[in-house]
Structure 1
Amino acid sequence: MTARYLQEEHDIFREAFRKFLQKEAYPHYEQWEKDRLIPRSFWEKMGKNGFLCPGVDEAYGGLNADFAYSVVILEELERVGSSLVGIGLHNDIVIPYIEEYGTEKQKKRWLPKCISGEVITAIAMTEPGAGSDLAGIRTTAQKDGDHYILNGEKTFITNGIHADLVVVVCKTDTKAIPAHKGISLVVVERDTPGFKRGKKLDKVGLHSQDTAELIFEDAKVPVDNLLGEEGKGFYYLMQQLQQERLVVAIAAVIAAEEMLKQTVEYVKNRQAFGRKISDFQSVQFRLAEMATEVEIGRTFLDDLIDQHIQKKNVVKKVSMAKYWTTEMARKVATQCMQLHGGYGYMEEYEIARRYRDIPVASIYAGTNEIMKTIIVKEMGL
């Protein structure tokens, strides 16, 4: 089944991107996982070949492409491995904040290098004491002349080590009531005095994706780096989170498809008790159940992407998709590892890596518990 939002030009683009990844990503991915880092050279190659920020306007060096091109990139990166999630975050989560709320001067200054791969971005929301409760963040930005003085600490920041440009969620008004009205977005650049990286975090999965702590100690940021208006940060976040959660759902469905495909291939070739594992009815039924759930997830996701491209409000459905697809992918990972038997626990089989990588999808971009509270609210309960 071909999704409604995909046209011939998207298929041509996918084929070109796949060829690029076959040369520049697949042969090196295992080494990146060992190195615990994706090299900046790969980002630069992505940029050189036009695979970064395709939706950005041509005036800044982009392709002014529709979101379907981003979907193609997200899908093909996930097929390589989940640790490439940082590129999707750069393309489809961080850059839209600059596009939507940045001044003309900010766009001209930052976007061309984000497209070329010279500049890598991150968004810093989570803190050691505040995750889903964004109103509870403690990082502050106090105005001092023509600068903000930032103080605080962020953690679990995707692209945290490589990031040259960080959209920091902070409080410019600590006395605002309610608290979320004091939140603003301030862009911090790599060489900002008082800004430093904490440790690179050692994760259960996503080994080559750099995740880090970011520390701001009297970091001096020009007021010109304010994104949008003061006090509007929380509202900007709420407007953009729909796409962020859609990005997570896309990755979850692709991961599930890949795990199922690999497992079907494995059981067709592996023998036990004198016959192929795929000949056992219990195995067939488990595969049939997984295939059905994966297909349901894909059908729902494609419809959702189509509605998102049409700029419809799909907050409730996106929350449903993010929650359901990530839970589904996690179940598929467990079942697929089990069907691989002892080999599923060996690093030489990709299912072991997928099994490690998928659980965090139900945590980031808003935990699945938060997704359920949004669904409940949208239902009027």
Structure 2
Amino acid sequence: MDFTLNDDQHEFRKLLRSFVNSEIIPVAREWENEGRYPTEIVEGLKELGLFGMTIPEEYGGLDLDPVSFAIVFEELARGWMGIAGVLGSHSLSCRMIATHGTAEQKEKYLPALATGERRTGLGLTEPDAGTDVQGIRTVATRTDTGYLVNGTKTWITNARYADPLPVMVKTDRTTSPAHKGMSILLVDKDTPGYSVLKDIPKLGYKGPESSEVLLENVEVPAENLLGGVEGRGMQQVLSALEWGRVNIAARSVGLAQRAFDEALAYSQQREAFGQPISQFQAIQLKLAQMGTNVQAARLMAYWAASKLAEGRADGPTGMAKIFCSDIALEAAIDSMKVHGGYGYSKEYEIERLYRDAPLMSIGEGTNDVLRTVVAKSLINGSTVIG
């Protein structure tokens, strides 16, 4: 077994780590406190070509393998988890368009999405439908030229920049099960009736906006139906969400790594009773467990990514997302304990990491729901342990 990165992946990680260390870490806490949008960092992401990481090379993208994809989110989240959000839903939607779009849709959207000239997100969640995607109420009524869309989406990352925004709709409300009547429409930003409402105040995950989107009698041309065939929206989304679970697992690893790094450094600087607190066994035990957990989570994330490269991987990606997100929260809490009272202060990084960590167990499907997904994959034999 080879548990190491290949030469290309190793060099890619070095490049990303240098960018994060020089362009993100020095400003993250200050910009988050100011509520400032990270425009300069986004420009750097464009220069690195990261907006095209799930887009084929023929359209100007990087077409990264899943492990390299995971490395991107691990490194960005180590610096500022919110920055990873700028690329998160964008990369999933680009993957979805590249995999399921018509030739015309790919030609129209992918080249500009690859450079970051266009950006995108994913319009799934609604006020009454989160993990239960089949519960959406946004409807698309067929017209002579396309569809008339009405509904509301919420918690949409990149909503103010998305062009187009792939929106999950019900094109047929009579089917059973409901997912057979669900489709994805690519809604262009300047379409009349499409509007981004308020940005939602959040505990953490600062930087990118998470917004409410209103679709009120929005006319979408028939050629913007993803793939050109109705009723395939759920399958299209699920194929992208597997990459999304690798994304969240990797972000969790990056966050946990940063929490560990901060705890280790602080324990060697902070003195009590005449010596660094790293010399006390209680602190050593905590550091040892944190370091072990972080490395285990990293291997789990990379394993899931490698399984995704082989094909459908509901079980492995679900396992990785569950395990890594749990470790991220545990690492943030333990790092705060190592910091003591200072861990509760905004002057130290751990306070920000502590606020960012809980989202990892919610995003891309809550962990409890994913446990049922993992269980089904074990029962039906699609995931084999051992």
Q: Would you call these one fold, judging by a TM-score over 0.5?
A: yes
2:152 is equivalent to residue 153 of structure 1: yes
User: Counterpart of 1:251?
Assistant: 251
2:112 is equivalent to residue 113 of structure 1: yes
State the TM-score, normalized to the length of structure 2: 0.92
C-alpha distance 171-375 of structure 1, shift in aligned 2 (>3 A): same
Check conservation: 1:37, 1:209, Cα contact below 8 A.
no
SS in 2 for 1:128: coil
Q: Shift of the alpha carbon at 1:26? A: 3.4
User: Counterpart of 2:361?
Assistant: 362
Check conservation: 2:24, 2:80, Cα contact below 8 A.
no
Of 64-73 and 194-203, the range deviating more from structure 2: 64-73
C-alpha distance 272-41 of structure 1, shift in aligned 2 (>3 A): closer
Task: Give, as a single letter, the amino acid of the residue that structure 2 aligns with 1:286.
Answer: K
Q: Tell me the alpha carbon deviations over residues 190-246 of structure 1, each in whole angstroms, 9 at most, x when there is no partner.
A: 101100011001100012121101110111111111102211111222222211111
- Distance across 1 between alignment mates of 2:214 and 2:2: 45
User: Counterpart of 2:76?
Assistant: 77
SS in 2 for 1:145: coil
User: Counterpart of 2:123?
Assistant: 124
Structure-to-structure mapping, 1:307-322, within 5 angstroms:
307-309=307-309, 311-322=310-321
- Distance across 2 between alignment mates of 1:28 and 1:296: 29
Check conservation: 1:70, 1:92, Cα contact below 8 A.
no
Check conservation: 2:71, 2:250, Cα contact below 8 A.
no
- Distance across 2 between alignment mates of 1:67 and 1:91: 15
2:249 is equivalent to residue 233 of structure 1: no
Q: Shift of the alpha carbon at 1:379? A: 2.8
Check conservation: 1:200, 1:211, Cα contact below 8 A.
yes
Check conservation: 2:300, 2:324, Cα contact below 8 A.
no
SS in 2 for 1:221: strand
- Superposed CA RMSD in Å reads 2.0
- Distance across 1 between alignment mates of 2:287 and 2:185: 48
Q: Shift of the alpha carbon at 1:359? A: 0.3
User: Counterpart of 1:272?
Assistant: 272
Check conservation: 2:259, 2:335, Cα contact below 8 A.
yes
Q: Tell me the alpha carbon deviations over residues 284-313 of structure 1, each in whole angstroms, 9 at most, x when there is no partner.
A: 11222222222222222222222222x243
C-alpha distance 175-316 of structure 1, shift in aligned 2 (>3 A): same
Q: Shift of the alpha carbon at 1:35? A: 4.1
Q: Shift of the alpha carbon at 1:263? A: 0.2
Task: Give, as a single letter, the amino acid of the residue that structure 2 aligns with 1:249.
Answer: A
SS in 1 for 2:51: coil
C-alpha distance 188-36 of structure 1, shift in aligned 2 (>3 A): farther
C-alpha distance 3-159 of structure 1, shift in aligned 2 (>3 A): farther
Q: Shift of the alpha carbon at 1:282? A: 1.3
User: Counterpart of 1:298?
Assistant: 298
Q: Tell me the alpha carbon deviations over residues 77-127 of structure 1, each in whole angstroms, 9 at most, x when there is no partner.
A: 112110112233145311111101111111111111111111111101111
Percent of pairs identical after alignment? 35
Task: Give, as a single letter, the amino acid of the residue that structure 2 aligns with 1:254.
Answer: G
Task: Give, as a single letter, the amino acid of the residue that structure 2 aligns with 1:130.
Answer: A
Check conservation: 2:322, 2:367, Cα contact below 8 A.
yes
C-alpha distance 276-35 of structure 1, shift in aligned 2 (>3 A): closer
Structure-to-structure mapping, 1:1-381, within 5 angstroms:
3-4=3-4, 6-228=5-227, 229-309=229-309, 311-380=310-379
SS in 2 for 1:122: coil
C-alpha distance 23-261 of structure 1, shift in aligned 2 (>3 A): closer
State the TM-score, normalized to the length of structure 1: 0.93
Q: Shift of the alpha carbon at 1:31? A: 4.1
- Distance across 2 between alignment mates of 1:293 and 1:22: 23
Task: Give, as a single letter, the amino acid of the residue that structure 1 aligns with 2:250.
Answer: I
- Distance across 2 between alignment mates of 1:337 and 1:14: 27
Which ranges of structure 1 fall in alignment gaps of 5 or more residues?
Answer: none
C-alpha distance 41-277 of structure 1, shift in aligned 2 (>3 A): closer
C-alpha distance 101-81 of structure 1, shift in aligned 2 (>3 A): same
> How many residues were matched structurally?
379
- Distance across 2 between alignment mates of 1:227 and 1:135: 18
C-alpha distance 136-69 of structure 1, shift in aligned 2 (>3 A): same
Q: Tell me the alpha carbon deviations over residues 320-366 of structure 1, each in whole angstroms, 9 at most, x when there is no partner.
A: 11112111211111111111011111111111100000101101100
- Distance across 2 between alignment mates of 1:13 and 1:288: 28
- Distance across 1 between alignment mates of 2:57 and 2:272: 58
Check conservation: 2:51, 2:91, Cα contact below 8 A.
no
